[in-house]
């Protein structure tokens, strides 16, 4: 057993922590209120190598370890969940290339992403195909050495700002998931249309787009894996990215708790700090315990990803499920600890509570995580 980060990871974490404190935390409230994508923070992450974390050195990155990615997402999410998605979605959009790409594809497609010159995104969901990913209607038809894609993708995080978009599409006439393939679209050569941006409950600084593909041409050289291997790849990618969502949920909860803990020590009522009341103390103890449990599950799952462990699907789903449910409960309680101040936007915890909700929904709703876990148990 080893619950510690290695020296290299600690160094990366400390760098991120400092950048987050100095540059991200002061912007978080504004990012939420204006609902604008923080391009400045993307640039900051690019310049400091943070967007290189999802990639091994041979592809221009600095790590490629899921543990390090989760650690980075967690640190950023403590201050700003929207900004944490800049790293999380760079990882999500790159996994398909790293998992299924040929050496040529990895060498060609990864370095601009690792350098932060381009933003990556991942387009699986459709208006009629959310939890039921096999039912997708986007079509890819082959003409010579290129494919032509048509369809609509829904709830695509960073779909509007990405330079590299991994799209899943049907290559068969049938609706069978055995016809699904994955394609890498590069904006300059295979431009897609952004139909609309969603206004959301939380993570308001992270643009969520509906994307329309109208006769978009993609070179066959940008198909990842075989025709028909796409569905399996989509699931394999989600296995790898779910610990990251767990890490985001963990960071949100930790950020809210740090603020609330400080508040209850300072807030005086009945002539004493409210932290001196046992009712408050029990809440603090429960929150801290839940965070600690989630933290271990998240990093255990990340370790399983790095080790390609056989039970990685189950543990990754558990980490996402447990950490996101935990974050929802913990942030709701942190608003409660601040009382009326918790409910107004002069204080950060109501934002964190709104941000927490999506972690129970995206990258597979928590109902889907339960289906995945139960299936693994009953196999």
Partner 1 sequence: MDLELTPEHASFRATVRELAQGVVQPMAAEVDRDHRFPDEAINAAAEAGLMGVLIPREYGGAGLDALAFEICIEELAQACASTAVIVDVHTSVGTEPILLFGSEEQKKHWLPRLASGEMLGAFALTEPASGSDAASLKTTARRNGNGYVLNGAKVFITNIGRAAMYVVFARTGPEEKAAGVSAFLVPADAAGLRVGQIFQKMGLHGSPTGELVLEDVSVPVANRLGAEGQGFTVAMRALDSGRIGISGQALGIAQAAFDEARDLMRERGHEQGDDFALADMATRVASARLLAYQAAWLCSHGQPFTRQASMAKLHCTDTAMQVTLDALQIAGDEGARAGSPFERHMRDAKALQIYEGSNQVQRIVIARELLRG
Rg of the chain in Å (alpha carbons): 21
Residue 292 catalytic?
A: no
Residue 211 C-beta: closest distance to partner 1, Å: 15
| Closest of 60, 72, 92 to residue 15, by C-alpha | 72
Residue 360 C-beta: closest distance to partner 1, Å: 6
Give me the residues paired with residue 126 across strands.
Answer: 129
Is 24 in contact with 59 (CB distance < 8 Å)? no
| Closest of 126, 135, 111 to residue 52, by C-alpha | 111
3 state SS of 122: strand
| Cβ within 8 Å of residue 330, ≥6 positions away | 253, 256, 257, 287, 290, 291, 356
Is 246 in contact with 319 (CB distance < 8 Å)? yes
What element of type H or E holds 327? helix 312-338
Phi first, then psi, for residue 178 (nearest 5°) are -75, 0
| Closest of 236, 221, 213 to residue 150, by C-alpha | 213
| Closest of 261, 234, 195, 215 to residue 100, by C-alpha | 234
In whole angstroms, give the CA distance from residue 222 to residue 209.
23
- Residue 237 tokens read as 């990618």
Interface residues toward partner 1, by CB under 8 A: 125, 130-131, 154-155, 198-202, 268-271, 274, 277, 279-280, 328, 332, 335-336, 339-340, 342-346, 350, 353-354, 357-358, 360-362, 365-367, 370-371
> Biggest alpha carbon distance in the chain?
79
Query: Of 74, 126, 186, 363, which residue is the catalytic one?
Result: 363
Residues annotated as catalytic are 363
């Amino acid at each position: 057993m080893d619950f510690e980060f290695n020296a290299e990871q600690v160094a990366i974490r400390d760098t991120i922590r400092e950048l987050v404190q100095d540059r991200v935390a002061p912007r978080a409230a504004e990012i939420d209120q204006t609902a604008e994508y923080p391009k400045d923070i993307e640039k900051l992450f690019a310049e400091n190598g943070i967007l290189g974390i999802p990639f091994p050195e041979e592809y221009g990155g600095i790590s490629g370890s899921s543990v390090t990615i989760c650690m980075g997402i967690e640190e950023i999410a403590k201050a700003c969940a929207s900004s944490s998605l800049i790293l999380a979605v760079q990882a999500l959009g790159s996994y398909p290339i790293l998992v299924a790409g040929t050496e040529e594809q990895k060498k060609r497609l990864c370095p601009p992403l690792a350098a932060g010159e381009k933003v990556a995104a991942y387009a699986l969901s459709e208006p009629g195909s959310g939890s039921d990913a096999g039912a997708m209607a986007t079509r890819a038809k082959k003409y010579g050495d290129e494919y032509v894609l048509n369809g609509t993708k829904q709830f695509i995080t960073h779909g509007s700002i990405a330079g590299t978009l991994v799209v899943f599409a049907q290559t068969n006439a049938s609706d069978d998931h055995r016809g699904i393939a994955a394609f890498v679209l590069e904006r300059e050569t295979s431009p897609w249309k952004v139909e609309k941006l969603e206004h959301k409950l939380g993570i308001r600084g992270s643009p969520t787009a509906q994307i329309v593909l109208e006769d978009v041409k993609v070179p066959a050289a940008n198909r990842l894996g075989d025709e028909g291997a796409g569905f399996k790849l989509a699931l394999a990618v989600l296995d790898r990215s779910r610990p990251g969502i767990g890490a985001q949920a963990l960071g949100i909860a930790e950020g809210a708790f740090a603020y609330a803990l400080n508040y209850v020590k300072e807030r005086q009522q009945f002539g004493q700090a409210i932290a001196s009341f046992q009712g408050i103390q029990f809440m603090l103890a429960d929150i801290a315990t839940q965070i600690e449990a989630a933290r271990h599950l998240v990093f255990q799952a990340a370790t399983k990803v790095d080790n390609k462990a056989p039970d990685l699907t189950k543990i990754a789903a558990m980490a996402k499920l447990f950490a996101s449910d935990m974050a929802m409960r913990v942030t709701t309680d942190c608003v409660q600890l601040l009382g009326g101040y918790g409910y107004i936007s002069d204080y950060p915890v109501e934002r964190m509570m709104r941000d927490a909700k999506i972690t129970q929904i995206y990258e597979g709703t928590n109902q889907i995580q339960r289906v995945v876990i139960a299936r693994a148990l009953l196999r």
